[in-house]
Amino acid sequence: MRANRQWKFWLWGFVGFIAVVWLLRSMLAPFVAGMAVAYLLDPVADKLEARGMPRWAATTIVLLGFLLAAILALLLLAPLLQAQVVQLVEVAPEWIAWAKKELVPEIQRWLRRLPAAEAKQLREAAGNYAGTAVGWTADVLRNILTSSVAIIDILSVIFITPIVAFYLLRDWDRMVATIDGWLPRPYATTIREQAREVDTTLAGFVRGQATVCLCLGVFYAVALTAAGLDFGLVIGLITGLLSFIPFVGSLVGFVASVGLALFQFDEFWRVGLIAGIFFFGQAVEGNILTPKLVGDKVGLHPVWVMFALLAGGALFGFVGVLLAVPVAAVIGVLTRFCLQQYMQSSLYRGFDTVEATALDLPPDPLLSHPAAEGAERGDGVADLPPKP
C-alpha cells in the first residue's frame, strides 16, 4: 500500500470513529465509564495476578473492593449531605431577604453614580443575562425531572458500568495483545513507543490528579466544617471534585466559602480563617501533592486540560468529559512526536544540512564559512574571519 493510500485509510478511519462517537454519544456513557474504571484498576489486578491469582479472581476482588469503597463512602456522606441540603432550603429565604436589604441598595447606590446611558445599558444587559440563566436552569431541571431518557441514562451508568468494567478488566491484557497484533508491521515499533508514552502520561495525570482531588476534598470538607462554616462539607467536597479541572475547583470553593463566611460571621477574623484554609490548601497542593502525586513530566498543561474538558463537554456532553483527558493525552503525545520528526527533517534543517549528507553531495561552501557557523551556533554575533 502506498503512503498516500495509507494516509487516506487512517484519515477516513479517524473520521468514521468520530462519526460513530457522535451518533452514539447518548448511550456510550456506561461503556466509557466502565473502560475508565478498568483502566484505573488494571495495575492492581496485574499485581494480584503476578502473585499467582487467576485473572478472573483478581478482577472480582479488585472490582468488588472498588464498589464497596464507593458504596461505603456514599452511605457515610449521604446523611450529612442530606442534612446540609435541608438546611440550605431552610436558610435560603433569609439569604434572599438579606440580599434585598443589603446588596440591592448598595447596587442601586452604585448605579446612581454612573451616567444615565451606561446605567440603562447595564440594567438591560443584567436583565437579559438573568433571564437567560433562569430559563436555562429551568430547562435543565425540567429535563432532569421529566425526561425518562435521563433516568434511563442514570440507571444505565449505575448498573451497566460495573458489568462493562468487569469484562474489560478481566480481558484487558488479552485485548491489548490482540490490538497489538493488528498494528501495521512497518510502524509497529513506533506505535508501541507512542502508546507507552500515552499510557505514562494518562496514568500519571489521571491517577495522580484523582488522588490530589480526594486529598483536597477531604481536607477542605473537614477544615471548613471544623471552622464552623455552614455547608462546609458540601463546599469542600465540590471543591475537591472540581479540582480535577486546574484552578477551577480552588476558585469556586474560595469564592463560595468566603462569600458565605461574610454572610454568616460577624467577626472578621473568622472570615480570614476561612480564606486562610484555602491559601494553606493551595500551598500544600502546589508544593507537595501535585509534585509528588502527579509530577511535572506528564506533558499535560493545565490550560490544555481545561480546554479539553470544556470542549469535550460542549461537543459530546458527559461522554465528552470522560474522553477529554485521554484524547488530550493522545493529542499531546502525537504533537510532540510530530515536532520531533519535524526537527529532524529537511523542512527544519534545510536541504544542505540533511539531504546533502544523505545523498553524499558536497556541502555548501557557505555552511563551512565561520560566519555561518557562528550563526548556526546562535551566538548572536557571527564569528568573522581574521583580517589578512
Q: Which three cell numbers stand for residue 137?
A: 436552569
pLDDT tens by residue, 94-132:
777 776 777 667 777 776 776 777 666 766 666 665 555
Q: How far apart are CA 289 and CA 207, in angstroms?
A: 12
Contact 328, 312 (CB under 8 A): no
Helix (H) or strand (E) holding 363: none
> Has residue 248 got a pLDDT over 60?
yes
pLDDT tens by residue, 182-238:
888 888 898 899 888 888 888 878 878 888 888 999 999 999 989 988 888 888 988
Q: How far apart are CA 23 and CA 316, in angstroms?
A: 10
Q: Which three cell numbers stand for residue 118?
A: 451606561
213: Cα within 13 Å, side-chain hemisphere:
19
- With a pLDDT cut of 70, the percent of the chain lying above it is 76
Q: How far apart are CA 111 and CA 119, in angstroms?
A: 6
The pLDDT assigned to 351 comes to 60
Answer whether 0.95 is exceeded by the pTM: no
Nearest to 273 by CA among 326, 232, 320, 333: 232
Q: How far apart are CA 302 and CA 347, in angstroms?
A: 30
Amino acid identity of 359? L
The pLDDT assigned to 380 comes to 42
> Has residue 18 got a pLDDT over 90?
no
387: Cα within 13 Å, side-chain hemisphere:
0
Mean per-residue pLDDT, 377-388: 44
pLDDT tens by residue, 137-188:
555 455 544 544 455 667 777 888 999 999 999 999 999 999 988 888 888 8
User: How much is the mean pLDDT over the chain?
Assistant: 77
Q: How far apart are CA 184 and CA 182, in angstroms?
A: 6
- With a pLDDT cut of 90, the percent of the chain lying above it is 16
DSSP state of 104: H
Domain extents in the chain: 298-348
- Who has greater pLDDT, 264 or 384? 264
Cell 484505573: give the residue: 40
Q: How far apart are CA 34 and CA 18, in angstroms?
A: 20
DSSP state of 101: I
- Who has greater pLDDT, 71 or 114? 71
Q: Which three cell numbers stand for residue 38?
A: 478498568
